[in-house]
């Protein structure tokens, strides 16, 4: 549930800033999710 809220928030931030958000989740990228989340929380 928290992950869904995070991605919605990230999408909203990107829309507000005019950023085209394209997210591709693969096992290698999954390791970076916590680092990405830390930037926006």
What would the two tokens of residue 14 be?
Answer: 């990107």
- 11 compared with 41, residue with greater pLDDT: 11
Q: Is 6 exposed, middle or buried (0-12, 13-18, 19+ CB in 10 A)?
A: middle
CA distance 4 to 17: 20
Q: pLDDT tens, 1-39?
A: 677 788 788 878 878 888 776 665 555 666 677 667 777
Half-sphere exposure of 3 (CA within 13 A, CB side): 4
Please report the pLDDT score of residue 1 as a whole number.
60
Please report the pLDDT score of residue 41 as a whole number.
64
Please report the pLDDT score of residue 21 as a whole number.
67
CA distance 23 to 15: 14
């Amino acid at each position: 549930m928290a992950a869904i809220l995070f991605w919605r928030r990230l999408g909203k931030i990107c829309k507000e800033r005019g950023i085209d958000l394209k997210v591709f989740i693969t096992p290698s990228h999954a390791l970076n999710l916590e680092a990405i989340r830390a930037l926006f929380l």
